[in-house]
């Protein structure tokens, strides 16, 4: 039992030598021989190269159990994703995957809700969910935000969320926002539009974030949103422990680590850490959109979030970023029905407004669910037709 970390490596050295550099730097070695080590350290704590795949520049490093406090994610990351990124002998290095031993996974409670729970709440058992990010991303007052949320809800979205830069500014405090938005979502429900999630962004500093989560729920929030890369995995775990509502996990800043295919950190280990720490949904990129990611990497994240993992509840992947109704089918072909497809501009930029935009997105999802080509479905659904015409030339999928 040990932790296996997979790296993509480019170096003048052989892959085995490069792997050994990583293994030593991150376990018991340094740049020169030291005279302070002991037999126990060398025998029990020394990481080794498990395997190499020369065709793909892949090295797997085996880190012994005793190196870790498995319930301490910052400590785990300081080993598997620590100094190694700066080693000058490595031209490029990217953490591609982490394989945790079962006993490590069992130290985490994971999400409190699974995909089935989320889908049942919004009565979407057999289809993907549709979500929206209120736009403009900042500037609307709580009342104005709630009006946009209401239009989106009656248009048919399942989830409304804040954008990542909206937190608790003077013009739109989070408590006022929750109260106003939930009031309008209750109104939509009374009018027969069913339940809608509202993910209020409680991202803040560590002495504040749990209070914000608890306060938001006390004021009626049925979901909270947190940005995991900027606040950290420990913050996510604390939030998930503190409140019983689902936790929507956004990943602003991730591309600083994930974008370069040769250096940094893949979205896959990030997805696993989010599942351990209790996220119920996680942004994993879009197959087609303004910031579309690596298709293979999205597939791997989808697999890591949704399939059995030592009894942890599963996590709903989120496709987001530049999506409009014309891109829905391509994203769903990749994700399948267990995902949320989100649109900000792709809903609030509809020529006939937010309600029509929400209808158009929902129609695009219905078309995919019924296996009808989007363009054909648009012949009998006017909001969708308008959306397809409007965005015909933007980010058209191949």
What distance in Å separates the CA atoms of residue 63 and residue 80, rounded to the nearest whole number?
Answer: 8
Q: Which of 72, 165 has the CB closer to ligand RUB?
A: 165
Question: Applying CB under 6 A, which residues contact ligand RUB?
Answer: 133, 135, 163-164, 251, 283, 285, 290-291, 318, 320-323, 343-346
- Do the beta carbons of residue 331 and residue 286 sit within 8 Å? yes
Residue 350 binds which one of ligand RUB, Mg ion, none, with CB within 5 to 8 A depending on kind? Answer: none
- Do the beta carbons of residue 204 and residue 165 sit within 8 Å? no
Q: Which of 260, 376 has the CB closer to ligand RUB?
A: 260
What distance in Å separates the CA atoms of residue 194 and residue 289, rounded to the nearest whole number?
Answer: 29
In the complex, minimum distance from the CB of residue 349 to ligand RUB, in angstroms, rounded to a whole number:
8
Residue 326 binds which one of ligand RUB, Mg ion, none, with CB within 5 to 8 A depending on kind? Answer: none
- The kind and range of the H/E element at 16 are helix 15-25
The first and second tokens of residue 106, run together, are 């069992």
In the complex, minimum distance from the CB of residue 80 to ligand RUB, in angstroms, rounded to a whole number:
23
Residue 317 binds which one of Mg ion, ligand RUB, none, with CB within 5 to 8 A depending on kind? Answer: none
- 230 part of the interface to Mg ion, by CB under 5 A: no
Which one of residues 10, 50, 117, 163 is an interface residue with Mg ion (CB under 5 A)?
163
Q: Which of 27, 280 has the CB closer to ligand RUB?
A: 280
Q: Which of 113, 119, 248, 250 is catalytic?
A: 250
Active site (annotated) includes residue 262: no
In the complex, minimum distance from the CB of residue 160 to Mg ion, in angstroms, rounded to a whole number:
13
Q: Which of 19, 232 has the CB closer to ligand RUB?
A: 232
The first and second tokens of residue 243, run together, are 């409140």
Region from 92-100, 159-167, 178-186, 377-385 binding Mg ion, contact rule CB under 5 A: 159-167
In the complex, minimum distance from the CB of residue 17 to Mg ion, in angstroms, rounded to a whole number:
42
Residue 264 binds which one of Mg ion, ligand RUB, none, with CB within 5 to 8 A depending on kind? Answer: none
The first and second tokens of residue 103, run together, are 């006993």
Active site (annotated) includes residue 290: no
Residue 346 binds which one of Mg ion, ligand RUB, none, with CB within 5 to 8 A depending on kind? Answer: ligand RUB
Q: Which of 63, 287 has the CB closer to Mg ion?
A: 287
Q: Which of 19, 346 has the CB closer to ligand RUB?
A: 346
Region from 105-113, 157-165, 173-181, 346-354 binding Mg ion, contact rule CB under 5 A: 157-165
Please, what sign has the CA dihedral across residues 307, 312, 313, 314? negative
Residue 147 binds which one of Mg ion, ligand RUB, none, with CB within 5 to 8 A depending on kind? Answer: none
DSSP for 309-375 reads -TTPPP-EEEE-SS--HHHHHHHHHHH-SSSEEEESHHHHTSTT-HHHHHHHHHHHHHHHHTT--HH
In the complex, minimum distance from the CB of residue 348 to ligand RUB, in angstroms, rounded to a whole number:
8
What distance in Å separates the CA atoms of residue 292 and residue 277, rounded to the nearest whole number?
Answer: 25
- Exposure letters 218-236 (e unless 16+ CB within 10 A, then b): eebbbbbbbbbbebbbebb
Region from 13-21, 67-75, 158-166, 285-293 binding Mg ion, contact rule CB under 5 A: 158-166
Do you find a cis peptide bond into 316, omega within 30 degrees of 0? no
In the complex, minimum distance from the CB of residue 199 to ligand RUB, in angstroms, rounded to a whole number:
12
The first and second tokens of residue 219, run together, are 């004021």
In the complex, minimum distance from the CB of residue 220 to ligand RUB, in angstroms, rounded to a whole number:
24
Residue 285 binds which one of ligand RUB, Mg ion, none, with CB within 5 to 8 A depending on kind? Answer: ligand RUB
Q: Which of 113, 135, 288, 362 is catalytic?
A: 135
82 DSSP 8-state letter: S
Closest CA to 359 of 339, 380, 373: 380
What distance in Å separates the CA atoms of residue 272 and residue 100, rounded to the nearest whole number?
Answer: 9
What distance in Å separates the CA atoms of residue 187 and residue 62, rounded to the nearest whole number?
Answer: 55
Q: Which phi and psi (to 5°) does residue 378 adopt?
A: -65, -20
Point out the residues that are catalytic.
135, 250
Contact residues for Mg ion, defined by CB under 5 A? 163-164
């Amino acid at each position: 039992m040990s932790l296996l970390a997979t790296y993509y490596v480019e170096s003048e050295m052989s892959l085995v030598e490069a792997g050994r550099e990583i293994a030593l730097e991150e376990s018991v070695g340094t740049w020169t021989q030291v005279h302070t080590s002991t037999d126990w350290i060398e025998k029990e704590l020394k990481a080794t190269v498990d395997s190499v795949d020369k065709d793909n520049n892949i090295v797997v490093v085996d880190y012994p159990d005793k190196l870790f406090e498995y319930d301490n994610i910052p400590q785990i990351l300081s080993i598997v994703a620590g100094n190694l990124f700066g080693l000058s002998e490595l031209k490029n290095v990217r953490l591609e995957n982490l394989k945790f031993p079962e006993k490590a996974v069992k130290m985490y409670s994971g999400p409190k809700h699974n995909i089935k729970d989320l889908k049942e709440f919004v009565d979407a058992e057999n289809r993907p969910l549709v979500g929206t990010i209120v736009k403009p991303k900042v500037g609307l007052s709580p009342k104005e935000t709630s009006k946009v949320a209401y239009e989106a809800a009656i248009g048919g979205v399942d989830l409304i969320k804040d954008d990542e830069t909206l937190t608790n500014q003077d013009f739109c405090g989070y408590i006022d926002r929750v109260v106003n938005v939930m009031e309008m979502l209750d109104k939509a429900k009374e009018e027969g539009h069913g339940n809608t999630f509202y993910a209020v962004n409680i991202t803040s500093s560590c002495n504040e974030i749990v209070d914000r989560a608890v306060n938001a729920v006390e004021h009626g929030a049925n979901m909270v949103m947190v940005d995991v890369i900027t606040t950290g995995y420990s913050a996510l775990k604390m939030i998930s422990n503190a409140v019983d509502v689902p936790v929507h996990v956004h990943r602003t800043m991730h591309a600083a680590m994930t974008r370069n295919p040769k250096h940094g950190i893949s979205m896959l280990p990030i997805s696993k850490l989010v599942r351990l720490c209790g996220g119920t949904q996680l942004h994993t990129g879009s197959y087609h959109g303004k910031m579309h990611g690596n298709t293979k990497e999205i597939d791997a994240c989808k697999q890591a979030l949704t399939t059995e993992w030592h009894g942890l509840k599963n996590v709903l992947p989120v496709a987001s970023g530049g999506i409009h109704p014309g891109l829905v089918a391509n994203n769903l072909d990749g994700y399948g029905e267990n995902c949320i497809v989100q649109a900000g501009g792709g809903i609030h930029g509809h020529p006939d407004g937010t309600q029509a935009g929400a209808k158009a997105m929902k129609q695009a999802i219905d078309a995919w669910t019924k296996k009808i080509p989007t363009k054909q479905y648009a012949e009998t659904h006017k909001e969708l037709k308008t959306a397809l015409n409007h965005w015909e030339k933007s980010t058209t999928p191949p």
